[in-house]
Chain A
Amino acid sequence: MPDALRLDGVTVRYGGVTALDGVSLTVTPGATLGLIGPNGAGKTTLINATTGIAPLAAGSISLGERRLDGQPPYRIARAGIARTYQNIRLFGTLDVRTNLAAGAYAQPGRLSDDAARALLERAGVAHLALDTLASALPYGDQRRLEIARGLASRPAILMLDEPAAGMNPAETARLVTTIRSLATEGIGILLIEHDMTLVRAASDHVVVLNFGEVLASGTPAEIARDPAVVEAYLGTTEDIA
């Protein structure tokens, strides 16, 4: 059974600001955990803390038995944590093939073209030509290429930071299918999103973050009914009912 990602009482401070305060959650392999919350709630900080970019002031992060906090980012990546970025960070001047090879950097051997195409298929962009420059791809394809790059490292945990940003409803629906199928493969997925349709359809479990703290935690249906959550979202245009 592959390892679960556990955050225990994680606290992160930047200057005088407490970005995360005593956050605990678990990402289980084969399941998708949705992470929602207003802007500034600490969602990206949580990913940054997990990947080793932001140091912890308190708490711990572990993958199975292995402690991750305090490790340099490249070691955490090699341990099996992959991520996508809110503002897409592909290797723009490199081609699709090389971007995938980059994802597979820490894996033994070279990534064959067949393996590369298999990754693209799993991420829902099987049509991409391996020689295309990453920055020349349309926006939606870039997002999926980032996912494929994440998959190339054979991660235990895949963290998606607002993967549906800028997508239309049809593309978002396709993304749900992709995420569900990746979860079935046994990967533990952390999904940060504002799009509630996506979160509800793709997540098995949802955690709500507000001002760096866990506000609520439960199934998508439970969260939609939670009065504290409804209150936190009052005045926004998000529909969570």
Chain B
Amino acid sequence: MNFLVEFYAHHSRLLDEIGINALLALSLSVSLQAGQLALAQAGLAGIAAYISAIASMQYHWPLVASIVLAVACSTLVAALLAYPVRKLRGIFLAIATVGFGEIVRVIINNLNVTGGAEGLSGIPNDVNTSDIYGGLALVAVALFFLSRTKFALAVALTREDEAAARGVGVDTGMVRFASLALGGAIAGLAGALYAHSFYFLAPADFGFGRMEEILVWCVIGGVTSPLGAVAGAAFLSILPEIIRGLADFREITNGIILLAVILFAPGGLSALWRTRRTAIPRDA
């Protein structure tokens, strides 16, 4: 028992990070499973993080209310974003969503209420590790139940072959919209929890660099696997801690692992537990 307490004391920060990263990875995974390379999740998380922080700090909203507000906002923005990009596929969707993320970054950078480039500090630090993992568990359970529904089949078919999916009666437009909105909700939860856990926000926290990181987690874990996304996030968050001596080589290790997965093991970590062949969508 003592060991656990000690372990927690030393590593609580890391555990928090892993939990948040797992949520972010799941938010992207939801889009990837539908075959959409929609790289908006970092920006959406950022929106939620700032809204949640501002609601707590300036308007003294209680924690849960501010989180709910933040998630509602990120979901709404995701839903609104889904409309103009509904005809975009593959690289064009990816670029459009990256552009969205950049616009969000600039807006955050320029507003007074967000603290601008200096960032926002002094956010009430009232989210602890069990809150984060509670949130993660909630999302995991919800996604699990969702995976048993026909919607999950619709998502897989949309990813595999959109035209053939329509040919069997799947409303692929609705699938794409729903997956983007759901991703927005999960990213929003991650952002809000992040704000109250790390109690400092900067515009760069949720920029393209972060988005790339999330993509790397998902690819390493297995692009079409939500469990893989979590595993990838956990693995890459823990890796620098394990290889303490290689802390300086963290970045290059990430890059090499990513390249190795793409070239030699495209199924990622999920290939370890999946029996059948999985493939990264050719063009999404």
Contact, CB under 8 Å: A77 / B168: yes
Task: Give the nearest-CB partner of B276 in chain A.
Answer: A133
A211 within 8 A of B: no
Segment of B121-129, B157-165, B243-251 in the binding face: B157-165
Contact, CB under 8 Å: A102 / B276: no
Residue of B168, B172, B173 touching A102 (CB-CB under 8 A): B168
Residues from chain B with a CB closer than 8 A to the CB of A152 are 168
> How far apart are A174's CB and chain B's nearest CB, in angstroms?
25
Residue-wise, chain B 168-211 has the 8 Å CB interface mask toward A (1 for contact) of 11111100000000000000000000000000000000000000
Residues from chain B with a CB closer than 8 A to the CB of A133 are 276-277
Residues from chain A with a CB closer than 8 A to the CB of B170 are 74, 102, 105
Tally of contact residues, B, Cβ under 8 A: 22
> How far apart are A97's CB and chain B's nearest CB, in angstroms?
11
A94 within 8 A of B: yes
CA distance A98 to B164 in the complex (A): 13
B156 within 8 A of A: yes
Residue of B153, B169, B277 touching A77 (CB-CB under 8 A): B169
Residue of A78, A85, A91, A153 touching B157 (CB-CB under 8 A): A91
CA distance A96 to B271 in the complex (A): 21
Interface centre among B150, B157, B164, B168 (most CB of A within 10 A): B168
Contact, CB under 8 Å: A53 / B169: no
Contact, CB under 8 Å: A91 / B164: yes
Within 8 A of A (CB), among B242-284: 276-279
Contact, CB under 8 Å: A89 / B277: no
Task: Give the nearest-CB partner of B174 in chain A.
Answer: A74
Interface residues of A (CB under 8 A from B): 51, 53, 72-74, 77-78, 82-83, 85, 89-95, 98, 101-103, 105-106, 133, 149, 152-153
| Top 4 A-B pairs, shortest CB-CB distance | A106-B169, A77-B169, A73-B166, A78-B169
